[in-house]
Structure formats: structure tokens, C-alpha cells
Amino acid sequence: MLYPVEQMIFILLALFAVGAAYYGFREMALIINRGQRELYLDNLPRRVLEALRVYLAQTTTLKTRRVTSLFHLAVVWGFTYYFLVNALDALNGFLPEFSLFEGNDVLSSAYRLFGDAFSVGVLVGVSYFILRRFVLPNKRELQYHPNVLLHPKVAAGAINRDSLIVALFILLHVGSRFLGESVKIAVHGPDLMSPFATLVSPIWSGLGEDGLIIMEHLFWWLALGGILLFLPYFPYTKHLHLAMAPLNFLTRPQRRSLGEMAKLDFEDEEIEQFGANKLEHLSKTQIFDAFACIMCNRCQDVCPAYTTGKELSPSALEINKRFMIKDQMSGLAAGEESINPLMGFAISESAVWACTTCGACIDICPVGNEPMMDILDIRRDAVLMQGDVSAELQTAFKGMERQGNPWNNPRGDRFRWAKDIDVPTVEDNPDFEVLYWVGCAPSYDPRAQLTARAFVKVMQRAGVNFAVLGELENCTGDSARRAGKEDLAQELAMTNVETINEVFGDNTARRIVATCPHCFHSLAKEYPQFGGNWNVVHHTEFIEELIAAGKLPESANPKKMSNVTFHDPCYLGRHNDIIDAPRTALTKGVGVDIIEMPRNKQNSFCCGAGGAQFWKEEEHGTKAVNVARYEEAKATGAEVVAVGCPFCMQMFETAKSTLGEGPEVKDIVELIADRLPVGSGD
């Protein structure tokens, strides 16, 4: 119980702290509201439950760095419990008769036991994080390559200073409350429900009754008064993620897949800016990301560009955004224009074009940030607004625009891959059940054409009633969209939607199957934005269905099969969660045991082709992305690396040529076609 003068001081201090914190939070809200597009609050009950699940279970945090994550879990649970603890302690200071959880009943005992255990958990966890940031070898996870662009304050150590301030506050707050409980135990005797505080309580044995009262009041003030002193600083610190992370999960867009891009509205004449040149051009959720970032660098750990020495660090992008906001917080809140553009200050030009759009940064982020989407919007500004695009990409764009393919090969050659085999077009077979979307790579690349021919052989063996569009097919625009050329991507999409809808007619039972994950992703997850709503599957899913239906023999033609490892394409596994189908096709359709690479399934490492990288020179680094991944496949000892993407195949063929040796590269359907009985569809 506080003395009246203490109560008055606490109330005045609380009014000041809340007022100052309100000013900071108000500025945050105004800055976030500067962003484009609204925060998402549809299906609110489901969103709330999901945000609570992620926050309390820490499922996103526990994906990696297991030891560190367990310490973080202890801190999160402890800090969450302390909302109750602090509320009750405040009431104890003002209400003389308040005695909730003061007895020996079950609830009171549980309250004290959890308070004691969580206090120690937080203290141990925060102590570990201090050691990790400044002493332990894994502090390297919190550092950056010298070539990564950093805000001057970040480069000067601002994150370390902020982390230390936050950590010391937590130690002061929780430590004071814990020691205050030990003082109570020194007065009233041991408490079995507070074993750790009881263990510490003998240190106060030399104090008299007056000394114990003074210490009890002192620790109360350090614990709760410390909150009031820290509160105005809270909106400006990385500790803000405590509140912003669950709110980020609550308000971020619910995409059809991890990498679904937002559609730009070119018909809205009031829109003058396409893409993001400055902070205020980002969406609200992208600005939100900067406040939610925990600065843990997990995203850069899995970034194929960063890990091969490029300038791109998704973490640095979010952190630089945060410090750019802090530099101009009041001005941005008042509606002023950002001083500096994003490219060149939040992220370098080379880093922007190094992104493979693999989605690993989004998948791994414990607070739900999406730095890949920032990069794609910065590319949109560079291409659509600045006209800044490499000659290589310009060539690919011209090919897509004029010939319907990024190779810029004649449109009339699109169906030549099938000139000597029986492949029906939609004109030949208007009653088809399955439309095989061939894609540009199998249409024009000689190596990928072998995949298309193998898939035709498998479908014919299974008796599938299929057809292709032939010369009616166009590029889906995936590379154009991810390279920032949104207008071209939309033109291609609308053309393809019109074509498919016309040949499908009213037959909603028809399906599309694609051998390219990028085509699959566009058709299934992004074309609904343009009126294309069809049942689309990847060819490995389709093969899995054929095997399950008995239309393909399991392990047909059982000749000796080489050891096989499987590379999960980013746009198949991580973007669209198609993990089991390709493995089922290999184990049942080919009859092999898969040797998994260390990074597999949703955690697969990129081949380096995505995000239009296939059409441009790779940004400078210490190693090519495709070589790094192919070396990983080679290290398994497998004789064959199986793929489910024509671009992955080409990247690995190039890596094999670079290294001079390594496992053979085969699409899954090629392996299956090789094992079909002779004469089946040849």
C-alpha cells in the first residue's frame, strides 16, 4: 500500500507518461495511414483468433533458431502474464483492502507460482539475448555484409543501443518485481508457490522491519514507475513489436498464396503514382511492417541473394524504413513528403534487382512482414514511373509484347515442340476435359520441350482427354509482373483469360494443368484478379491423382533407378504449399526413396531464376544462386536431381556446366515417362 504522497506522484507521472506515449502512438497511426490501400479487417473474428494463436504459440518464431526461440517464448509468455501482474500490483498500491490472489486457494497459489516462474523465465531469457547480441558467437546473425546499404544510424550502432536500453528496462522492471516478492517472503515467511523468490529472500535477513518496508516500496516504484518512464520511449523502440506483431497478423492481406501480388488500377485517373518511390507510396501494411520488425535478421538468413553475397538484406530494408520514419516522424505524421526515395536510402538499386521473389523472407518472418512486396513495388516505380530498366529485361518485355514469349521467338513457332507427336489442340478436340497449359519454356527451350513431350506421353498412357491451346497460348506475364512491368502483365493476363474462358465455355468441370510452377501460380492465384476462375493444378498433383486412380502403374517398368534428390521449386512449395504431390509422384510413380537436401519443402533454397532473374544478368555477389543450390544437391550423393519446373531445370543445367560435373537433372514427369512400358504412347 502506497502512502498518499506516493499515490499522488504516481498519478501525475502516469498522466505525463500516457500523454507523451499517446503523442508517439498518434504519430505512428498517422504515418501508417499515409500508406496506399486500406488495412484489412474482413473476417475479423477469424483474424483475431489467428493473431492470438501466432502470438501465444509463437509458431512463426519457433520455425528456426530453436534455442533462441525458446528463450523468446519464455519472454513473451512472461511479459504477457505481467499485464495481469502489473494491473494487480497497481491496485495493491492504491486499495488498502484489495486482496485478490493473496490467499492460499488454488487460484491464488497458481497466480503466485506462474508469476514466480515467468519472472525467472523473462530474466534468464533477456540475459541470454544481451549475451547473444554482444558476446556469443551467434551474434553474427545480427550483423550484415559490408556491401549492404544501412541507414547511417544503424551503421553507427543504433540497434545495439536500442536493444540494450530495452533489455535493461525489462531487467529492471521484472527484476524489481521479483525482488519485491522476495522481500514480502522475507517478512511473511517461505512460500512454496514462489520457490525462486523464496530462494532469494534470505538476502534481506539483515534488514529490520523498517528496512523491509522501504525495500518493498522501492521495488514497487522501480517495477511500475519504470514502466511509466519507459512508456514515452516505447513508440520509438524495437520493443514496439510486442504490440505491433499481433496487430500485423490481424491486419495484413489474406493472399491466395504467399506471393500473390496486388493489382494496380490503371483505369483510376486519380492515381498518379504506380509503385513505391517514397515511404508514403507503400501500402499501409508495408509501413506497418517497419514498426513491427523485430530486427532479428531471420529473413536475411534464408534470402538466396544475401547468402550468396549480394547487396540485398530484407531485414536491412525494413530497418532502414523504420529509421527513415524516425528521422522525419513528426513531418510525415503532419503530411509532409518523405525527404529521400526508398531506392538508394532504404535499399540499393542492386539489391532491388537481386530479389528472386522466392518468398523465403515472408515465410520465415516471425512478425508477418513482407519485404518482398516492398521490393516488387519499388521495381514497379522504377519501370513504370522512372523508365529505369535493364536492356536485358527490355528485350524480354518486347518479346512478351510482340511475340507472346520472353525469348522473343516467333509466335508461329510456339507449337513446333509437338510437330512430330500427336498432341490435340482445342480446335482438334473441342470436347477436352483437361487443358494442358504448356508455357513459354517448354514451347521454345529445347531442354524444357523434353518435359512437355514426356508429360504428353504420360497423359496418353493414362487415357487423359486433353488438349492444348497451341498458337493461341500466350506468356502468362509472371516475369513481367515481378520485374515491375505491370501494364504488360495485365495485358497478357486479360488476353489469356479471354482465350481460356472462350474455349472453356460453360463447362466448369474442365481443368488446367501446368508443368511450370510460375504459370501455375499466375493462372491459379493471380488470374482471378482478372476474371479467370478455374480449377488449376500442377502436373505433379495431376500425376499423383492418376496414380491414385490406377491410371498409371506404380513403379512401372521396374528397371534400376538412380538415387534421386528433389528440389522444391519456390513457386510450388513455399508459395503454394504443394509439397507431398511431387514426392508421391517420385516414390510411387518412379519407385525411389528420395534423398532430401538439408533445405527442403517450405524451407527449400531458390534456384535463382524467379523474379525475372532468368532474363537478366545476376547481381554481383560471392557465388551464383544456382551454383549454391546445385552444390547442395550434389552433396547428397544422388545421381539425379529431380525438379518440377523448367526454369529450375535450366538453372541447374547451367550450374552443372559451370562445375563440370554433378547429378543429372530431370523433371519428375521425365523419370515417370522413362519407366512406362515400351509402346505406351510413344
Give per-residue pLDDT as tens, 585-633.
Answer: 999 888 888 999 999 999 999 999 999 999 999 999 999 999 999 999 9
pLDDT at 555 (0 to 100): 55
Band (553; pLDDT cuts 50, 70, 90): confident
Instruction: Report the alpha-carbon distance of residue 645 to residue 536 in Å, rounded.
Output: 16
Q: Is residue 107 exposed (0-12), middle (13-18) or buried (19+ Cβ within 10 Å)?
A: exposed
HSE value, Cβ hemisphere, 13 Å, CA-based, for 536: 23
Band (103; pLDDT cuts 50, 70, 90): confident
| 559 pLDDT more than 70 | no
Band (100; pLDDT cuts 50, 70, 90): confident
Instruction: Report the alpha-carbon distance of residue 498 to residue 488 in Å, rounded.
Output: 16
Residues contacting residue 565 through CB under 8 Å, at least 6 positions apart: 594, 595, 596, 597, 633, 636, 638, 640, 641, 642, 663
* CA distances to 294, 538, 600, 641, 652 from 629, in Å: 29, 23, 11, 11, 8
CB 504 within 8 Å of CB 534: yes
Band (560; pLDDT cuts 50, 70, 90): low
Instruction: Report the alpha-carbon distance of residue 610 to residue 581 in Å, rounded.
Output: 21
User: Averaged over 378-383, what is the pLDDT?
Assistant: 98
pLDDT in tens, 450-479: 999 999 999 999 999 999 999 999 999 999
pLDDT in tens, 165-204: 999 999 999 999 999 999 999 998 999 999 999 999 999 9
Which stretches of 563-667 are DSSP H helices? Answer: 580-589, 625-635, 646-659
pLDDT at 626 (0 to 100): 98
Q: What percent of the chain has pLDDT over 90?
A: 91
Domain segments of the chain as ranges: 44-251, 288-385, 392-675
| 561 pLDDT more than 90 | no
Q: What is the pTM of this model?
A: 0.94
Neighbours of 92 (CB within 10 A): 17
What does residue 4 show for φ and ψ, rounded to 5 degrees?
-55, -40
CATH number for region 288-385: 1.10.1060
pLDDT in tens, 332-351: 999 999 999 999 999 999 99
pLDDT at 676 (0 to 100): 84
| 581 pLDDT more than 90 | yes
User: Averaged over 486-495, what is the pLDDT?
Assistant: 98
User: Averaged over 231-260, what is the pLDDT?
Assistant: 93
pLDDT at 206 (0 to 100): 85
Q: Which of 655, 669, 27, 643 is nearest to 329 (CA)?
A: 27
pLDDT at 102 (0 to 100): 78
pLDDT at 679 (0 to 100): 53
| 681 pLDDT more than 70 | no
